Amino acid sequence: MDQAIIFAHGKGIDEVELDHSTKTKLVGVNQLVRLIIVAQRAGIRKFIIISDSGDNKLIKNLCSDRRINSEIEIHPYGNPIELDPNNYLVLQSNLVITPQNLYTLIDSSEINSINESDNLLLVDRSDDKCVKLNGDHIEEGFIECGKALGAFVGYGKNLEKLIDSSVCINSYIKDSIDSGQVRFVTIPEGGYWYHLKAGNESVKTAEEILFSNVGKTATGWISRNINSKFSLPTSSILVRTSLTPNMISVLINIIGLLSGPFLAFGHPVLGALFMHLATILDRCDGEVARVKLMETKKGQWVDTISDQFTVFSFFVGLTIGYYRLTDSVVPIVLGVFNLSVFIFFLIWSFYYLKNYTSSGSLVSYFTVDKYDSEKSSLVRRFILFLRPMSRRNFYSLGFLVVSIIGGYPWMLGFLSFAMLLFLIHLIEDIINISKFRNNKNKV
């Protein structure tokens, strides 16, 4: 199923007028545009927008957004329509939801078992006391309890009557429930949804939901529970500006680059502090991209590459700073070793991401584990145990603490030990992938 009908006029399942949603923006994105992009990501390729007659501004907004690559038809509310004899996804335009939740409905096995008179309703919960079920059909409760999301699957010929007669979605679903013609699918646990209403308070609530959901996507305990407390408020300001996620990546990188000069000229704590500050803010470009639905593979690569300039600056600054302090050859030797491993990692990891993944984020590099041999070496198991510490949100905080406690010697010592383990990790990764490719060629 790749067709959807969006009601942008009349009343929704919650009996709220839907016209306002076509003019409302959440974090700078028009709500109807947001819903179409979300549905696209769930697999929809053709949309019929039921709107007030001849809304030229609406058509202009939809056509001008480059993220929308689907076929769109605007149909006047209350006018007769002829639909294909197939199932359609039906959405009310004030629904704020994730692609995963919509995909749960679209990809449900229940669709194959419903007949032409049935509707398949997406709901929040089915175990509430106010909900009354008869097998897999709804008898009463979901609409009254506010558990119905305003998304359902219906048969084209039945939906023609809904559109032609100007009946609101609420009345249509209620009548279908009374006729025993509504089944249900429950959204996954943790999935969010919200019915946007007119007014600033509702917009504020919806935006808070979007940002709280973005905060859950962070990798690592420190990133989720500490860094996000600083990055999310910053991102909520950045989304009001004209800055794109790629511009934000570059600005954050400029902050990170300052770590090198401070380290080189005798200020290890300030150098580590700027490195950690850039790490905290490094979440902002991704957070802005996700809430504004601007994520792209190109953006992932921009973020990944710009991050490496910060790390490179840190490595060089630490080497120069310790050398200027001691006038010894040891920092130079260790620094050259660390930089060599770092450059080797960049060349190999970028090759791996390009040829073995569909991502431009270094987070995806660790999918390399699926090529591990059945019996990993003791060193490999030790490295895997320490791997969470290789996340930037962990080691940048670690270097800040170490810079305060032991200064240059501790910082360079810890870095050199970590890079030695990392070199072993990389060599094993390359060997494992080579074995996998050889075995695949033999087959």
Phi, psi of 416 (to 5 degrees): -65, -40
DSSP-assigned letters across all residues of 109-174: GGGGG--TT-EEEEES-S--TT-EEETTEEEE-TTTTT-EEEEEEEEHHHHHHHHHTT--HHHHHH
Q: Are residues 40 and 181 in the same domain?
A: yes
Instruction: Residue 200: count other Cβ atoms within 10 Å of its Cβ.
Output: 8
pLDDT confidence of 131, banded at 50, 70, 90? low
Does residue 121 fall inside a structural domain? yes
Given this model, what pLDDT does residue 206 score? 93
CA-nearest of 341, 253, 234 to 303 is 253
Does residue 211 fall inside a structural domain? no
CA-nearest of 50, 47, 76, 84 to 63 is 47
- CA pair distance 183, 208, nearest whole angstrom: 31
* Residue 107 token pair: 């990809």
Q: At what angle do helices 297-326 and 245-257 cross, to 10 degrees?
A: 10
- The overall longest dimension of the chain from CA atoms, in Å, is 87
Q: Are residues 165 and 240 in the same domain?
A: no
- CA pair distance 55, 18, nearest whole angstrom: 14
pLDDT tens by residue, 65-75: 888 999 998 88
pLDDT at 438 over 70: yes
pLDDT tens by residue, 89-125: 999 999 999 999 999 999 888 887 778 888 898 988 6
Q: Are residues 151 and 259 in the same domain?
A: no
Please name the amino acid found at residue 366. Answer: F
Q: Domain with 260 in it: what CATH number?
A: 1.20.120.1760
- Percent of the chain past pLDDT 70, that is, above it, reads 91
Mean pLDDT value of segment 70-90: 90
Does residue 207 fall inside a structural domain? no
Does residue 208 fall inside a structural domain? no
Given this model, what pLDDT does residue 278 score? 94
Q: Are residues 190 and 241 in the same domain?
A: no
* Residue 250 token pair: 């570059």
Given this model, what pLDDT does residue 144 score? 54
- CA pair distance 45, 72, nearest whole angstrom: 9
Greater pLDDT, 64 or 253? 253
As to burial, measured by CB atoms within 10 angstroms (0-12 exposed, 13-18 middle, 19+ buried), residue 112 is exposed
Instruction: Residue 268: count other Cβ atoms within 10 Å of its Cβ.
Output: 27
pLDDT at 403 over 90: yes
As to burial, measured by CB atoms within 10 angstroms (0-12 exposed, 13-18 middle, 19+ buried), residue 292 is buried
Q: Are residues 146 and 228 in the same domain?
A: no
Given this model, what pLDDT does residue 138 score? 61
Full domain range(s) for residue 430: 220-442
Does residue 210 fall inside a structural domain? no
CA-nearest of 187, 3, 4, 48 to 105 is 187
Total of domains in the chain: 2
Q: Domain with 114 in it: what CATH number?
A: 3.90.550.10
Q: Are residues 150 and 15 in the same domain?
A: yes
Does residue 105 fall inside a structural domain? yes
Does residue 417 fall inside a structural domain? yes
Does residue 203 fall inside a structural domain? no
Please state the separation of Cα 442 from the chain's center in Å.
39
* Residue 378 token pair: 């003791």
pLDDT tens by residue, 13-55: 888 889 888 889 999 899 999 999 999 999 999 999 998 765 6
Q: Are residues 375 and 282 in the same domain?
A: yes
Q: Are residues 189 and 250 in the same domain?
A: no
Q: Are residues 438 and 344 in the same domain?
A: yes
DSSP 188: P
- CA pair distance 10, 19, nearest whole angstrom: 7
Q: Are residues 263 and 311 in the same domain?
A: yes
pLDDT tens by residue, 185-213: 888 877 789 999 989 999 999 999 998 88
Phi, psi of 363 (to 5 degrees): -60, -35
Mean pLDDT value of segment 213-221: 70
CA-nearest of 337, 356, 334, 338 to 430 is 356
CA-nearest of 229, 231, 325, 347 to 287 is 231
pLDDT tens by residue, 270-308: 999 999 999 999 989 999 999 999 988 888 888 889 899
Q: Are residues 177 and 267 in the same domain?
A: no
As to burial, measured by CB atoms within 10 angstroms (0-12 exposed, 13-18 middle, 19+ buried), residue 237 is exposed
pLDDT confidence of 321, banded at 50, 70, 90? very high
pLDDT at 252 over 60: yes
CB 341 within 8 A of CB 422: yes
pTM: 0.85
